[in-house]
Structure formats: C-alpha cells, structure tokens
Amino acid sequence: MCPNYVKAETKTLGELSLTERWLHERIVDDPTILGLGDVTIIARERSQPAGGRLDFLMWDPEEEIRYEVEIMLGRLDESHIIRTIEYWDVERTRFPHLEHRAVIVAEDITNRFFNIISILNRAVPIIAIQLNALQIGDQFVLNFTKVLDVAELLLGEDETAAPTGADRTYWEKRANAASLGVVDKLVGLLPTGKTQRVTYNKEHIALGMAGGRNFAWLHPRKNVSHCHINFRLGEERAQWVQKLEEAGMVAGPRGSNEMRMQITQREVGEHEAILRQLLARCEELVRS
C-alpha cells in the first residue's frame, strides 16, 4: 500500500524554541546525522591556543579523516567562515601527519557565501552542510544536506592525542553487535598467560601490554558487521600484508609502521590460526 503524502514545513531551530546546545546534544547522541560517515567524536568544545573553542573534532578511522566541525544556527557569516578555517589550520598544524577537513554547518548558506567557500575550497578542504528542520504536525526531523564537498583524500593515524575514556557499555550502545563481536573474538586469540590489557576509549578499543604500549587499535562500526583494525608492526608490515593476502585476507599499509584491515566474525573463524600468530607477533614487537 502506498504511504500517504504529507507536506513538511521548513522551520529554523529558533522557531522551534531550540538552541545550539540542544543541537550539540543530538550530534553527541548520533554523530552520523551530519552525513560525514560513521565518525567518532574525539573532542567537544576543544580549546584553541589563540582562544575560542572548536565545536567538534571528529574522526573517521575507516576513511582516515579528521573533521574540524563548526556549527552555527541561522545565516552563515564571514566570522563563522574565518573561525572554521582558523580552527582547521590550528589542528592540522598540531597534527600535520593527519588529513584534516574543515566543516561548516549552518541553517542558511546564501549564494554569496557559498561562492566564497567554493573559491576557498581550492586551497582549503571545506565541507559545507546546510541544516533544515522539517516539521510534520507536532513532530519534526533534522535534515543535513551537504551542499559543498571536497575530493577524497587519505591520511594517517594519530596516537599523540590523549584518548577519551569510555567503557564496554559505551561501545555496546554505539557499535553494531556483530562488529563489536569481532573485538571479543580477537581478544580470545591473544596469547594466554600474558598480561595484556583491553582499553575502551571513545575513539577506539586498544589492545596492549599492562603498563606498556598498545599494539592494536580496533574501531567497531555502527552500520556494518566488520571491524576496522590497525596493527603496529614496524618493519615487518610488508611481510604481514603479504602473508595475509596469501591467506585470502585483505590488508594494507597505514602511516609509517602500521597495517590496516577490515575483519568480520566469519573471517576471524576462518583465519584463526594466522590471526593468532599476528596478535602474538604484535605483542612481541612492543615488548622488544
């Protein structure tokens, strides 16, 4: 049966008596509503060295992109554009080995300012997102439309930023159960009799040695069943990429000393032996 057509009325959040703080909370609840992918919030209202606070610093570990996100209710203006670019520049200067994208979110992006940021986009990777609230009766939805995008770029990982603490419950709420199950299966393959630790952070789940360094970073996903993983392998990375590919798994380089993979629970079961060897070797390398 065909559903009934109902015309929605476009509203501003101000007309709905909602604030920017309210919008921030909705984004914290589900960062994917911005349309940037399955991103994780690294920081909220991040203090900047020259003053001011960046609304959100987000990270997509699968695409390996950092997003500096500034949000403004109402019409986009010059100061908002300048502030967004300034914060993007500060973050990319602090972490130059990462790929960064500036993101502007506003309710009204006029043709004039759209043209301006389109020109700036030739030098600065800017994404512009227009927000609308669509009301139907006594209910409404938030609609985020990407009106300006940038070409796909690649980056490396950042281990220098201090991770934000979380727990198992956080990931059970955030991640797909099948994707989180990959973490449990891999933890079960760790060498016995050793003092490994599993650390739950908001950015990732880390595997490491008690009192020592991490050797793997796992990123359970929200909308898919696989888990994205980065392994620290140093000079042995190319060797392990080849081993895994010969075994029928897909792996690739990441940064200067890491290997990246996407694994499902089925693949963990099918390739248990070589994955057990991989984890053991990663552990040995951080001990040496």
Per-residue pLDDT reduced to its tens digit, 81-95? 999 999 999 998 888
Query: Which of 47, 155, 167 is CA-nearest to residue 99?
Result: 155
CB–CB of 164/44 below 8 Å?
no
Domain(s) of CATH 3.40.1350.10: residues in the chain = 9-148
The mean pLDDT of 102-118, rounded to a whole number, is 86
Quote the percentage of the chain above a pLDDT of 70.
93
* Secondary-structure class of domain 9-148 per CATH: alpha beta
| Residue 7 CA to its chain's centroid (Å) | 34
Whether 227 shows a pLDDT value over 50: the answer reads: yes
> What pLDDT score does 266 carry?
93
Residue 41 main-chain phi, psi, to 5 deg: -85, 115
The mean pLDDT of 219-230, rounded to a whole number, is 89
Domain(s) of CATH 3.90.1150: residues in the chain = 168-287
Q: What is the mean pLDDT of the chain?
A: 86
* Secondary-structure class of domain 168-287 per CATH: alpha beta
The mean pLDDT of 57-76, rounded to a whole number, is 90
> What pLDDT score does 151 carry?
42
Whether 183 shows a pLDDT value over 70: the answer reads: yes
Whether 157 shows a pLDDT value over 80: the answer reads: no
> E strands within 204-284?
205-209, 214-220, 227-232, 251-254, 258-263
Query: Which of 227, 261, 228 is CA-nearest to residue 245?
Result: 261
> What pLDDT score does 160 carry?
44
Secondary structure letter of residue 236 according to DSSP: G
> What pLDDT score does 273 carry?
94
